[in-house]
């Protein structure tokens, strides 16, 4: 076997004179191209994840929907939750930026992988936090509806449409509806997120596992 490997090494090193060479201008052009590394992708996806949910507030109908919090009397809680939420989001963005900056191609393979995984973990925690916030907001809504006796009257428009339903029934139907919607939305967003990153990082995770196995 040693002889075979030596033969291979000899052959390998002989190739140098035969490899087709790229010209100066070919290489020069490449330095101006954009990278499509997974680190770049993590950055792009993360920026989308940080900004997209907040863009929702810019849609007029979404703003109108915010009135519901006032109607059912949980507006001040909602404001408090929003404030905490933004503080946490800024913390995540800061953490993410710090870790992202630490990623360097000059590290050894293992540390490079560790740093990428760590950066992604920040995003993962952020997504888990966001999804929990959706569920929490939904819960807040349900509690608000439950505690508010005038609820059916205050949204008279809805009440007119559902004339065959007693206010009590309408209330329960709404609570169940909102609850189911919240859970489905969370599951849907969670699934998209994990599929996206699962695909993006499959190779990295495999290689990292193999490197870790070497330590045993």
Partner 1 sequence: MEHQFVTDLQSNQNIVHKVCTLYTNDKDSHNDLFQEITIQLWKAYPKFRGEAKFSTWMYRVALNTAITLYRKSKRSIPTLDYDSVIFKIKADEYDETEEEQLKLMYKAIKQLGDIDKALVFLYLEDKDYREISETLGISEVNARVKMNRVKTKLRTILNP
The answer to whether 37 contacts partner 1 (rule: CB under 8 A) is yes
Q: How far apart are CA 74 and CA 79, in angstroms?
A: 9
> Which one of residues 12, 52, 60, 61 is an interface residue with partner 1 (CB under 8 A)?
12
Q: Which stretch binds partner 1 (CB under 8 A): 23-31, 78-86, 123-131, 147-155?
A: 23-31
Q: How far apart are CA 56 and CA 73, in angstroms?
A: 22
Q: Which is nearer to partner 1, 101 or 161 (CB)?
A: 101
Q: How far is CA 205 from CA 117, 200, 209, in A?
A: 8, 10, 6
Q: Is 37 left (phi over 0), alpha (psi -120 to 50) or beta?
A: beta
CA atoms within 13 A on the CB side of 131: 18
Length of the chain: 216
Q: How far apart are CA 42 and CA 74, in angstroms?
A: 36
Q: Which is nearer to partner 1, 25 or 51 (CB)?
A: 25
* x/- map, 57-96, partner 1, by CB under 8 A: ----------------------------------------
Q: Which stretch binds partner 1 (CB under 8 A): 123-131, 168-176, 178-186, 198-206?
A: 198-206
Q: How far apart are CA 90 and CA 32, in angstroms?
A: 33
Q: In angstroms, give the least distance from the CB of 213 to partner 1.
A: 9
Counting Cβ atoms within 10 Å, is residue 65 exposed (0-12), middle (13-18) or buried (19+)? exposed
The answer to whether 45 contacts partner 1 (rule: CB under 8 A) is no
Q: How far apart are CA 136 and CA 81, in angstroms?
A: 9
Q: In angstroms, give the least distance from the CB of 199 to partner 1.
A: 10
> Which one of residues 109, 184, 191, 196 is an interface residue with partner 1 (CB under 8 A)?
109
The answer to whether 22 contacts partner 1 (rule: CB under 8 A) is yes
* x/- map, 115-144, partner 1, by CB under 8 A: -x----------------------------
> Which one of residues 76, 101, 169, 203 is an interface residue with partner 1 (CB under 8 A)?
203
Closest CA to 44 of 53, 32, 55, 52: 52
* Positions in the binding site for partner 1 (CB under 8 A): 1, 4-5, 7-9, 11-13, 15-16, 18-24, 27-28, 30-31, 33-39, 41, 104-113, 116, 200, 203-204, 206-207, 210-211, 214-215
């Amino acid at each position: 076997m040693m002889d075979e490997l030596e033969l291979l090494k000899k052959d390998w090193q002989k190739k140098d004179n035969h490899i087709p060479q790229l010209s100066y201008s070919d290489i020069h052009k490449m330095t101006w191209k954009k990278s499509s590394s997974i680190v770049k992708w993590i950055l792009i996806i993360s920026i989308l994840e940080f900004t997209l949910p907040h863009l929702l507030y810019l849609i007029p109908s979404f703003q109108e929907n915010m009135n519901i919090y006032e109607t059912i009397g949980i507006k001040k809680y909602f404001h408090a939750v929003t404030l905490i939420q933004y503080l946490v989001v800024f913390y995540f963005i800061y953490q993410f930026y710090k870790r992202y900056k630490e990623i360097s191609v000059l590290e050894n393979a293992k540390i490079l992988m560790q740093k990428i995984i760590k950066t992604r973990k920040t995003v993962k925690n952020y997504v888990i936090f966001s999804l929990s916030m959706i569920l929490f907001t939904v819960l807040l809504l349900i509690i608000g509806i439950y505690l508010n006796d005038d609820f059916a009257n205050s949204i008279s428009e809805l009440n007119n449409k559902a004339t065959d339903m007693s206010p009590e029934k309408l209330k329960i139907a709404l609570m169940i509806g909102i609850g189911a919607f919240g859970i489905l939305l969370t599951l849907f967003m969670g699934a998209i997120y994990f599929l996206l990153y699962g695909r993006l990082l499959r190779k990295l995770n495999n290689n990292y596992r193999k490197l870790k196995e070497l330590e045993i």
